[in-house]
């Protein structure tokens, strides 16, 4: 905050107008700006425009006269301690000056007749002290501005990540639904198409978890992501990660060398999260290596640990950046980031996930141009990996009239097809108004309602459905891309019975529809 001319002036209320004239002349002569007043009230009125100090004759402070000044002084901001110079009568201390000294804070008493040098030195000392206070005011206001800018940026970042996650999640629901339809209609009949179907399913689920991570980005730093641990055979995880990264590796024509330890190694972990760890490292190795490079992934045992190394002969990392690459949004070279389109959260996530599995990860590089190696250590489990879960088969639904409301045609229609295949009677509405008409004509048992729709949103539709007592037995299920606690609270308040996040787990949805 800048110091204005008014901030450096001294406000004067002398015993008489003649005294005021003399004092002002002396101060002006020494280069000090002044403003004179005939009463404390007038002086206090000017204080808010800025002042370095005040010079007041004690006569003006008698009794209640000093109250406005005392009140102004007590209201000062923390950086401010306005110097008050009181011109006292000659002789013994008067009760007014003694009282003023006690109550007005930063007070200097100057006995009249005051020597010129005494007055000037007191005025200059006051201005100096006040200038220090202005410096503190400047620092505080700068800090406040920075804090506000940081808070705004942080809020925008959170909003952006939530929107991004939401936008990415929306297309996943119709894809997943369509896949379920293809499975149920026997589209995957031979071994080859079945394998392709399984790959698609795995990858969509994986994508879905990645989108979740984006939404959980603030939780990542605090390490509060949930991991569902089970005994795992490490090579299966490494293979799944290679499969995930295969398109990126192939696209950039990298050669991949895989060297897996001969003996099976069992670790306790969440298969999706651990696959994500190695897929992230492989993707990075691919991204930060020039076309046609060489990437190695190897596993070995080291005492009680499984050690997994992901190495490349790519652009390498400068020594000073090695310790920072795991920090949130950290990217060593922004131009590389632009061409490769990363978010700078991959390694933050890797480190959090590995440490949640009781492991560690470190980055090594001999420097720019000399390739990089990421080494993950995970504690080994003694027991054998559990057998793979048998594939689930969906059970049919009991007879239900279900109204699906979704402004996305693909999302609504694919879900409608799936529920019809499962035996439900389904109707579709693509807007809030249309939904309300359908509720009256179709008389559904359950309404699956999207929240974010143009015009009338899902909350409003829910409130209107609940507003009609004839609809009290209808079960309302929110099916939305928004899954934060606040979104769930809002949907309960609007009258929903359940809140599912897209793409909903089909089995979870089937169970809800069965009991709804
Ligand atoms: P992103 O790849 O989205 O930028 P990451 O968190 O995965 O974010 O990586 C952070 C930074 O670490 C990258 O921007 C890059 O500068 C550096 N980095 C990661 N992996 C490698 C690698 N294999 N070789 C060189 N630099 C890497």
End-to-end CA distance of the chain: 62
- Of 433 and 198, the structure prediction assigns the larger pLDDT to 433
- Of 84 and 341, the structure prediction assigns the larger pLDDT to 84
Q: With H, G, I as helix, E, B as strand and everything else as coil, classify residue 160.
A: helix
* Probe target for ligand 1 pocket from 248, 256, 288, with the most ligand atoms within 8 Å of CB: 288
CA of 340 to the centre of ligand 1 (A): 10
- Of 359 and 155, the structure prediction assigns the larger pLDDT to 359
pLDDT greater than 80 at residue 223: no
What digits encode the pLDDT tens for the residues 202-222?
788 778 767 876 776 655 654
pLDDT score for 158: 72
CA of 257 to the centre of ligand 1 (A): 21
Q: What is the rounded CA–CA span in Å between residue 432 and residue 453?
A: 7
- Name the nearest CA neighbour of 267 among 245, 312, 246, 236: 236
CB atoms within 10 A of CB 222: 9
Backbone angles phi, psi at 84, to 5 degrees: -120, 115
Atom number in ligand 1 closest to CA 341: 3
CA of 59 to the centre of ligand 1 (A): 74
Mean pLDDT to the nearest integer, 46-58? 95
Q: Where is mean pLDDT largest: 76-80, 222-226, 508-512?
A: 76-80
In whole angstroms, how large is the CA radius of gyration of the chain? 37
pLDDT score for 331: 67
Q: Are strands 446-449 and 255-259 parallel, antiparallel or unpaired?
A: unpaired
pLDDT score for 339: 41
Q: Are 225 and 217 in contact (CB under 8 A)?
A: no
pLDDT score for 156: 82
pLDDT greater than 50 at residue 387: no
CA of 287 to the centre of ligand 1 (A): 8
Q: What is the rounded CA–CA span in Å between residue 308 and residue 243?
A: 17
pLDDT score for 342: 54
CB atoms within 10 A of CB 16: 11
Q: What is the rounded CA–CA span in Å between residue 57 and residue 72?
A: 18
Q: What is the rounded CA–CA span in Å between residue 11 and residue 181?
A: 84
What digits encode the pLDDT tens for the residues 250-272?
989 999 999 999 888 999 999 98
pLDDT score for 468: 92
What digits encode the pLDDT tens for the residues 324-364?
898 866 667 655 543 444 567 789 889 989 998 999 999 99
Question: What number of residues does the chain have?
Answer: 516
pLDDT greater than 50 at residue 450: yes
Atom number in ligand 1 closest to CA 347: 6
* Probe target for ligand 1 pocket from 161, 214, 344, with the most ligand atoms within 8 Å of CB: 344
CA of 164 to the centre of ligand 1 (A): 21
- Of 108 and 486, the structure prediction assigns the larger pLDDT to 108
Tokens of 413: 């229609």
CA of 247 to the centre of ligand 1 (A): 18
pLDDT greater than 70 at residue 77: yes
Tokens of 408: 């996305």
Angle at 161 between CA 160 and CA 163, to 5 degrees: 65
CA of 105 to the centre of ligand 1 (A): 58
Atom number in ligand 1 closest to CA 316: 25
pLDDT score for 224: 54
Q: What is the rounded CA–CA span in Å between residue 130 and residue 110?
A: 18
pLDDT score for 377: 98
Q: Which residues of 236-264 are buried (b: 16+ CB within 10 A; e: fewer)?
A: ebbbbbbebbeebbeebebebeeebeeee
Mean pLDDT to the nearest integer, 464-487? 87
Q: Which residues of 381-414 are buried (b: 16+ CB within 10 A; e: fewer)?
A: beeebeeeeeeeeeeebeebebbbbbbbeebbbb
Q: With H, G, I as helix, E, B as strand and everything else as coil, classify residue 398.
A: coil
pLDDT greater than 50 at residue 15: yes
pLDDT score for 447: 96
pTM of the shown model: 0.47
* Probe target for ligand 1 pocket from 281, 315, 328, 347, with the most ligand atoms within 8 Å of CB: 347
Residue with the nearest Cα to atom 3 of ligand 1?
342
Helix/strand/coil (H/E/C) assignment for every residue in 59-89? HHHCHHHHHHHHHHHHCCCCCCCCCEEEEEC
* Ligand 1, residues at Cβ distance < 6 Å: 284-285, 287-288, 312, 314-317, 325, 330-333, 337, 342-348, 372
Angle at 168 between CA 177 and CA 284, to 5 degrees: 115
Q: What is the rounded CA–CA span in Å between residue 448 and residue 475?
A: 9
CA of 207 to the centre of ligand 1 (A): 20
* Probe target for ligand 1 pocket from 325, 365, 374, with the most ligand atoms within 8 Å of CB: 325
Cβ burial of 103 (10 Å; 0-12, 13-18, 19+) is middle
Q: How confident is the model at residue 501 (pLDDT cuts 50, 70, 90)?
A: confident
Q: With H, G, I as helix, E, B as strand and everything else as coil, classify residue 324.
A: coil
Contacts 24+ apart (CB under 8 A), 250-253: 252/286, 252/287, 252/289, 252/291, 252/292, 252/293, 253/291, 253/292
pLDDT > 90: percent of the chain: 54
pLDDT score for 260: 94
Q: Are 509 and 501 in contact (CB under 8 A)?
A: no
pLDDT greater than 50 at residue 293: yes
Tokens of 321: 């950046």
- Residue by residue, DSSP assigns 288-303 as TS-TT-EEEEEEEEET
What digits encode the pLDDT tens for the residues 457-467?
999 999 999 99
Q: What is the rounded CA–CA span in Å between residue 315 and residue 287?
A: 9
CA of 412 to the centre of ligand 1 (A): 38
């Amino acid at each position: 905050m800048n110091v204005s001319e008014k901030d450096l002036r001294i406000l004067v209320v002398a015993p008489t107008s003649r005294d005021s004239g003399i004092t002002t002349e002396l101060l002006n002569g020494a280069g000090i700006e002044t403003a004179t007043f005939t009463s404390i009230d007038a002086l206090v009125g000017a204080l808010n425009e800025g002042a370095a100090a005040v010079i007041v004759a004690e006569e003006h402070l008698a009794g209640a006269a000093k109250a406005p000044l005392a009140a102004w002084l007590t209201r000062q901001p923390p950086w401010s301690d306005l110097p008050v110079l009181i011109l006292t009568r000659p002789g013994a201390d008067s009760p007014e000056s003694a009282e003023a000294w006690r109550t007005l804070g930063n007070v200097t008493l100057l006995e009249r007749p005051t020597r010129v040098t005494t007055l000037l030195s007191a005025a200059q000392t006051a201005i100096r002290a006040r200038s220090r206070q202005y410096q503190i005011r400047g620092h505080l206001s700068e800090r406040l501005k920075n804090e506000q800018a940081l808070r705004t940026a942080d809020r925008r970042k959170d909003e952006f990540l939530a929107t991004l996650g939401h936008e990415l999640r929306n297309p996943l629901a119709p894809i997943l639904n369509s896949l379920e339809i293809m499975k149920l209609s026997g589209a995957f009949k031979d071994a080859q198409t079945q394998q392709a179907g399984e790959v698609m399913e795995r990858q969509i689920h994986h994508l879905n978890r990645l989108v979740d991570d984006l939404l959980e980005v603030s939780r990542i730093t605090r390490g509060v992501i949930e991991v569902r641990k089970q005994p795992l055979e490490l090579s299966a995880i490494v293979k799944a990660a290679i499969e995930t990264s295969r398109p990126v590796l192939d696209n950039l024509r990298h050669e991949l060398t895989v060297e897996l330890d001969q003996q099976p190694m069992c670790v306790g972990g969440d298969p999706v999260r651990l696959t994500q760890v190695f897929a992230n490292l492989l993707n990075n190795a691919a991204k930060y290596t020039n076309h046609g490079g060489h990437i190695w992934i190897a596993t070995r045992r080291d005492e009680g640990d499984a050690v997994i190394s992901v190495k490349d002969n790519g652009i390498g990392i400068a020594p000073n950046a090695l310790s920072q690459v795991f920090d949130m949004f950290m990217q060593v070279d922004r131009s590389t980031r632009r061409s490769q389109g990363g978010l700078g959260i991959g390694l933050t996530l890797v480190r959090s996930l590995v440490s949640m599995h009781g492991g560690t990860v470190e980055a090594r590089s001999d420097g720019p141009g000399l390739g990089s190696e990421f080494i993950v250590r995970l504690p080994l489990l003694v027991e054998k990996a559990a057998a793979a879960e048998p594939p689930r088969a969906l059970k049919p639904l009991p007879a239900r009239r279900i109204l699906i409301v979704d402004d996305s045609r693909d999302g609504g229609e694919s879900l409608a097809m799936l529920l019809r295949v499962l035996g439900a009677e389904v109707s579709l509405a693509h807007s809030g108004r249309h939904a309300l008409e359908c509720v009256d004509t179709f008389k559904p048992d359950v309404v699956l309602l999207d929240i974010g729709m143009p015009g009338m949103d899902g909350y409003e539709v829910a409130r209107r459905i609940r507003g009609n007592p004839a609809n009290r037995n209808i079960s309302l299920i929110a099916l939305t891309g928004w899954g934060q606690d606040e979104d769930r609270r809002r949907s309960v308040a609007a009258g929903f019975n359940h809140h599912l996040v897209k793409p909903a787990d089909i089995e979870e949805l089937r169970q809800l529809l069965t009991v709804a």
